[in-house]
Each structure stands twice: as structure tokens, then as C-alpha cells.
Chain A
């Protein structure tokens, strides 16, 4: 079920009424409503894959319980390995099998040895990268004795399948979300209101910003050679806006919907395009994934301790793995590699780390902001391209500065209107976000009046006829 679908528009109020109708009875009943709703939400896409979520839930629930009972280090390691093997095994099979087969064939092809193996027909279950990471964090935290396991299977199953964030995050930690299923939820007007405001803002980012940008971006990436350097440059920026609108929009809607049910989900984006360096960008972009990799990969590898070479190795590992997490394609690995390279100067020069809530933006910082923005936009080219050669050609064409033609954006009245919509809505996005950024808010807050204005913009400027799936569903 898509957040931007009519089905969800009907589904949400029904679940809301059922859920709060049980407020005075028991929060366990509320959890049952949420669990059933979450399974319906996911099953709407493909009910067969509900078995995977259930299996993942059951394995990690049992591993968690047994880990708590077990003091023997060897036994604990075996239990953790079961969880790791099961979850990462699922992820590898569904997401990376064909990638490894194709890469294997291509590698041998280059030395003249040909294998007659064809790719397997595997459907990637939506959200598998998200919920496997979420359940993994649960068992790892118990293994590290940072978390006590829940004894209630219902609570754990609801935590894993919680529909607002099931298919595209934020990737929640058990320590933060799980206890919320153990408490009585009391309806809070201000909290629910802020949820509605976030849902509207997220919807604006998705259907107005991302889907209108997609109109140009898809055309450009379908035929890179047909467009001028200026058009390709604008296209690169538009994809940056598209993916931001798409993914952060989804996160906003997820957080907003969770608030309607009295739950607090972690902030996933904190105005990343106002970053003044690449490391800062990663403290503001997809925070739930960045912190996951920090806690479960970067720090166990040694983090920022040791020699510069050692630190650089760790940075490369974390970014390359992060790239591969995004998709089974070398373009994502290269994208991760670019970010690793861009992060190195900061590491070598040992500049002091900017605090995440440091939202200063002075004139002297503008060049750093622009540099970061441009680098991030160029790196996105590898993220969006079908192959590394297409991305390379794209960048090469931009640098060649062969033509200043902008016909794609002004060639007909329809294109001019689309361009105006994209420009105007992006302006609204940046102005609203800048205001929130300066106030050191963690999100854009809409008043009743601005909510109405955003609602009207969604209605008249949004894309509803041919809606695009959320990009991160494929991860």
C-alpha cells in the first residue's frame, strides 16, 4: 500500500478510529490492531512475503529470549550468528544473488572465460533492507547487553511490522521504539497535530517536488546524449531534489502517521542540503541508516581511532557497504566510494566535528555549502544512472560545457509550466526548511494557514495520474 494512494486514504482513518476506540480498554488490544493493520498494509503489496516478516520476527524473538538466558560466551555467539545468518541470508538471497551471479560472469568474461549461467527470477520483497536491519539491531543490542529482550511476542511482532516505517524506515532501534509498545498511549492533541503537519509536508515533498522533478529526470536519463551540458547539470540537481523529496517525504509521512498513534519515530533527515561538508551531510541525511552503520559497523571496526590509514580504511568500508545496501549495482558502490573520497580531506585535516544542531550559516560558509551541494549532486548521478558508464558519460558531458541549450525546460508552454511548478515548489521547500533550520527545529512546522496552502499545492500541483513509487522501496 502506498502512502500516496487512495487506498491508504481510506485505510488510515479506519485504523485510527479502531485504535483510539480501544484506548480505554487495553494497550495490548491497540497493539493487536496495529499488528493486523501492519500485516494488511504490507500484504496489500504481496501477501506471500508476510511469511518472511513473520519468520524474521520469530527467529529474532527466540534468539533474543535465549540470549538473555545464556551467559556462556560461545553459546551467545552462536545465537547471535543464527540471527545474523538468517537476516543477512535473507537479504543476500533476495537482494544480491543476481548481482553476485552477474558480477561473477562479467569478471570471468574479461579474462575470456565464459559461463553459461543465467540470472534467477527473484522478486525483491519491499522493505527487506529496512526490517532486517531493525531486527538485527535488536539481537545485537541484547548480545551487547545494552537491551533486555521483550517477553511479549505480540509487542515484538508489532515493533518489527509497525506499518508507518515498515517498508522504507526510519530504521528504528528497539531501545527507542519497543518500550513505546509497552506503555499506555494517551491521545495528545499537539502531538497528533504535529503528525498531520508532517504528513502534509511529506506528501508535498513527494507528490509535488519529487514526482514533478521525475518528469524531467526520467527524460534526461532515458537519453543522456540528447541533452546539453546545462540541461544535464539542471537534471543532476533535479534528481537531488527528487530523491530528497521522495525519501525524506516518506520519512516525514511515516513519522507523522506514527504520531497519530502516539508513537515517536527518530528523525531521519535534518535539512541535509544546508550541510557545509560531506561528513555533516551524512549526519543530516538518512540518519537512521548512518547511525546504524556507525554503531554496528564503524565503531566495531575501530571507528576514528588509530592511524590515519586505519581511519581511512574504516571510512571506505562503511561507505562502500552503505552503497551496496542501497542497491545491488556497482553504481551504488561507486556512489559510496565517491562519498568516502569526499570525506577523507576532513579526516586528514582533522577539522573539528560540527555539532548536528549547529545550524549557523554565515556568508563565509556559503562557498563550503555550495561545494558540498555540488559534490552531492554530482555523486547522485552515479546513484541514478543505470550503469557506471552512463554516469561517467553524464559527468563528462556536463564538464564539456558543449551547449547552453535549455530547450527541455522552455521548449513548449507545457515544459515552461512544469519548470515553473518545479521552481516554485522547490523555492517553497527551501524557504520553509531554511526557516526551520535557522530556528534549530528538527522539522518544518506548519501553522493551520500554511497547512491549507500546502494542502492546495498538493491538490493542484501534485502528480496523481501516474504516481511514481517511492524510490527507496526498491532498496
Chain B
């Protein structure tokens, strides 16, 4: 029995040590590349000071033409939104942006209705920060949000067992790390400004009833973002891009709000109910730039 246990221990220990090195190598390759937004922040944004950054989920990723906004306003900014995420992830991205030695004058936060109303939880794409699992703010984020889950805390345990996260998210992390090794400049569905565009399609909006939604801002992570912006002297602007047949009614608050939800009545500007297409993005950016011109 002892001989067997020794054999198992030997095979598994050697296997785990090798797995550890492969994982660290893989995370290193990801950190070196630009595949996901967190490494894009560190490796592509060369300016230490930018005028604005955009945070949010897919509506932010596809809702503003950053290059056009720069041209129209004379400002310089980047879109750091990550699709399928919530406000906790936006907070993490802001922390990460600041921790990598960058500063910004403004944060354009694009929250979705659900991210403001639903309880804070892990989102589908939180693994995209795993290559920074040794950073304290990333560890805190994973520990805090995984504390309430019944599943194995894969994300937070990756700090100690790097192969855990890499193995669980192998399609999302291990395979891209191989891509990053050979093509460090490749991005995962975003351009050099961090934007992604939805093409024109045949969205007709049929069956979508028009509605008005009252938006409250009582959200734990929105408060955290506000507080961090205050501490760093950053201006926070909350931007709601157009939504098909929907108008957000903004409750009383102290925030700078740009509400374009009811700006487009035609379905031709939409890719689906909540995402605008390339043409809609261009038009929405023009409207947003007006706000900037008036305010500043």
C-alpha cells in the first residue's frame, strides 16, 4: 500500500508541478498579449493620462464609437467595457486601470437596467482578469463574489492553484494564451480603441411593446465606483445608450446622467432590442458628443 501511495504521490506531484509551470507560462503569455481588455489596458494604452474611459457590458462595448467621439470632442479615450459583465466587473476594471499606473479625467459608465437592479454576482466573463490573479484587488474581487456560491471557488483558488482556473476555463484562457504567444497583438472582438460594432441586420422590433422603466441608483457597486472616482478626482458620467421602444425614467440622484434611451424610434438603428448597430452607434455618439460640447 505504501508503495502504491508513494507512486500516486510521485506521479501526481510531478504532474501538478508541471501543470503549475504550464499555467504560469500561459498566464505570462496572456499578460504579454492583448487578447482581453485587462491586458489591453496594460500593454496597449501607452498614455499614462487619458481624458475618459468607458466601462460597462456589451451595451457599452457596442454603444459608443470611441474614435468618432475623440474626433468630435478633441478628447482621447478608450473603451474598456467587457461583454456579459455587471457593475462589479466595471469596478474591478476601474481598479485595474488605476493600478496599472493610468489616470483618467472622466469615467463613462454604461450600466444596464439589470446590473443596477439585480444582486451583485459573478459574471460570465470575470475569468478575463485571471492572468492578474496575484494582484490583491483581483483576489479580493473573486473572494468576495465567490463567497456566496455553492460551487468550487475556481477563480479565487487560482491564486494558489493556477492550473485550476486555466483548466476550467481552458477554451477561454489556455487556448488564447497559445494565440497570444504567437500573435501578441490579437484582440478578442474589439478594435484598437476597445470598441466592437454590431453590423446592420434585419431587426424589425416586431412584438416589442414600448415601455418606460424607472431607474434607481441604489447599487452597492455603483456606490463603490462613485467613491473610487471621488477619491481619485475622476468625474463619473452615467450614460444610457438607446434601447428599442424603451425609455428610462431617471429617479432623483446626484449623478451626471446622459439618457439617450428613447432617442431612436426607428428599428433600423438597432441590432437587437438593447444593442445599437454601426449606424446607431455613430448617431448615438454624435448625440453624446453634443452633451460633452455643452457641458465642457
A binds B: yes
Contact call B4/A456, Cβ cutoff below 8 A: no
Within B1-34, which residues are at the interface with A (CB < 8 Å)? 1, 3-4, 7-8, 10-12, 14-15, 18-19, 22
A6 to B174, CA, bound (A): 21
Q: Report B-chain residues with C-beta under 8 Å of the C-beta of A192.
A: 4
Q: Report A-chain residues with C-beta under 8 Å of the C-beta of B169.
A: 465
Q: Report A-chain residues with C-beta under 8 Å of the C-beta of B12.
A: 455
Q: Report A-chain residues with C-beta under 8 Å of the C-beta of B152.
A: 6
B79 to chain A, nearest CB (A): 22
Contact call B11/A448, Cβ cutoff below 8 A: yes
CB of A29 within 8 A of chain B?
no
Q: Report A-chain residues with C-beta under 8 Å of the C-beta of B10.
A: 448
A452 to B18, CA, bound (A): 9
CB of A115 within 8 A of chain B?
no
A289 to chain B, nearest CB (A): 32
CB of A187 within 8 A of chain B?
yes
Q: Which of A189, A413, A448, A460 contacts B167 (CB 8 A)?
A: A460
A452 to B12, CA, bound (A): 7
Q: Report B-chain residues with C-beta under 8 Å of the C-beta of A452.
A: 11, 14-15, 18
Q: Report B-chain residues with C-beta under 8 Å of the C-beta of A187.
A: 1, 4
CB of B232 within 8 A of chain A?
no
CB of B286 within 8 A of chain A?
no
Q: Report B-chain residues with C-beta under 8 Å of the C-beta of A459.
A: 15, 19, 163, 167
CB of A461 within 8 A of chain B?
yes
Contact call B1/A20, Cβ cutoff below 8 A: yes
Q: Which of A6, A189, A414, A451 contacts B11 (CB 8 A)?
A: A451
B55 to chain A, nearest CB (A): 26
A193 to B171, CA, bound (A): 31
CB of B168 within 8 A of chain A?
yes
Q: Report B-chain residues with C-beta under 8 Å of the C-beta of A196.
A: 8, 11
A227 to B174, CA, bound (A): 28
A417 to B179, CA, bound (A): 9
Closest to B1 in A: A187
Q: Report B-chain residues with C-beta under 8 Å of the C-beta of A465.
A: 168-171
Chain A positions 313 through 330: 1 when the CB is less than 8 Å from some CB of chain B, otherwise 0 = 000000000000000000
A-B contact pairs, 8 of them (CB 8 A): A192-B4, A193-B4, A193-B7, A452-B15, A455-B15, A456-B15, A459-B163, A460-B167
Q: Which of B18, B19, B167 contacts A462 (CB 8 A)?
A: B167
B255 to chain A, nearest CB (A): 37
Within A153-200, which residues are at the interface with B (CB < 8 Å)? 187, 189, 192-193, 196
CB of B178 within 8 A of chain A?
yes
Report how many residues on chain B are interfacial, defined by Cβ distance under 8 Å.
Answer: 26
Residues A464 and B168 in contact in the complex (CB < 8 Å), given A456-B18, A456-B22:
yes
Residues A461 and B170 in contact in the complex (CB < 8 Å), given A413-B179, A448-B10:
yes
Q: Report A-chain residues with C-beta under 8 Å of the C-beta of B178.
A: 417
Contact call A460/B179, Cβ cutoff below 8 A: no
Q: Which of A6, A417, A451, A462 contacts B175 (CB 8 A)?
A: A417
CB of B243 within 8 A of chain A?
no
Within A421-439, which residues are at the interface with B (CB < 8 Å)? 421
A20 to chain B, nearest CB (A): 6
Closest to B17 in A: A452
CB of B166 within 8 A of chain A?
yes
Contact call A189/B22, Cβ cutoff below 8 A: no
A418 to B19, CA, bound (A): 20
Q: Report B-chain residues with C-beta under 8 Å of the C-beta of A461.
A: 170
Q: Report A-chain residues with C-beta under 8 Å of the C-beta of B1.
A: 20, 187, 189
Q: Report B-chain residues with C-beta under 8 Å of the C-beta of A464.
A: 167-168, 170
Contact call A414/B171, Cβ cutoff below 8 A: yes
Pairs of residues from A and B, 10 with the lowest C-beta to C-beta distance, nearest first: A455-B15, A417-B175, A459-B167, A452-B15, A189-B3, A192-B4, A189-B4, A464-B168, A187-B1, A451-B11
Closest to A23 in B: B1
Q: Report B-chain residues with C-beta under 8 Å of the C-beta of A462.
A: 167, 170
Contact call A456/B170, Cβ cutoff below 8 A: no
Q: Report B-chain residues with C-beta under 8 Å of the C-beta of A421.
A: 175
B80 to chain A, nearest CB (A): 23
Q: Report A-chain residues with C-beta under 8 Å of the C-beta of B3.
A: 189
Closest to A446 in B: B11
The residue among B3, B167, B169 with the most chain A CB atoms within 10 A of its own CB is B167
Q: Report A-chain residues with C-beta under 8 Å of the C-beta of B179.
A: 413, 417
Chain A positions 444 through 475: 1 when the CB is less than 8 Å from some CB of chain B, otherwise 0 = 00001001100110011110110000000000
A59 to B140, CA, bound (A): 57
Closest to A461 in B: B170
Contact call B170/A460, Cβ cutoff below 8 A: yes
Closest to B2 in A: A189
Contact call A460/B166, Cβ cutoff below 8 A: yes
Chain B positions 183 through 213: 1 when the CB is less than 8 Å from some CB of chain A, otherwise 0 = 0001000000000000000000000000000
B161 to chain A, nearest CB (A): 11
Q: Report B-chain residues with C-beta under 8 Å of the C-beta of A451.
A: 11, 15
Chain A positions 407 through 418: 1 when the CB is less than 8 Å from some CB of chain B, otherwise 0 = 000000110011
A145 to B22, CA, bound (A): 59
Residues A456 and B19 in contact in the complex (CB < 8 Å), given A196-B8, A417-B178:
yes
Q: Report A-chain residues with C-beta under 8 Å of the C-beta of B170.
A: 460-462, 464-465
A134 to chain B, nearest CB (A): 29
A452 to B3, CA, bound (A): 18
The residue among B3, B175, B179 with the most chain A CB atoms within 10 A of its own CB is B175
A413 to B178, CA, bound (A): 11
B47 to chain A, nearest CB (A): 29
Q: Report B-chain residues with C-beta under 8 Å of the C-beta of A418.
A: 171
Residues A460 and B171 in contact in the complex (CB < 8 Å), given A189-B3, A417-B178, A451-B11:
no
A89 to B214, CA, bound (A): 60
Q: Report A-chain residues with C-beta under 8 Å of the C-beta of B174.
A: 460
Q: Report A-chain residues with C-beta under 8 Å of the C-beta of B186.
A: 413
A20 to B2, CA, bound (A): 12
Contact call A455/B175, Cβ cutoff below 8 A: no
Within B148-189, which residues are at the interface with A (CB < 8 Å)? 152, 163, 166-171, 174-175, 178-179, 186
A216 to chain B, nearest CB (A): 13
B227 to chain A, nearest CB (A): 34
Closest to A6 in B: B152
The residue among A187, A448, A452 with the most chain B CB atoms within 10 A of its own CB is A452
A459 to B16, CA, bound (A): 10
A187 to chain B, nearest CB (A): 5
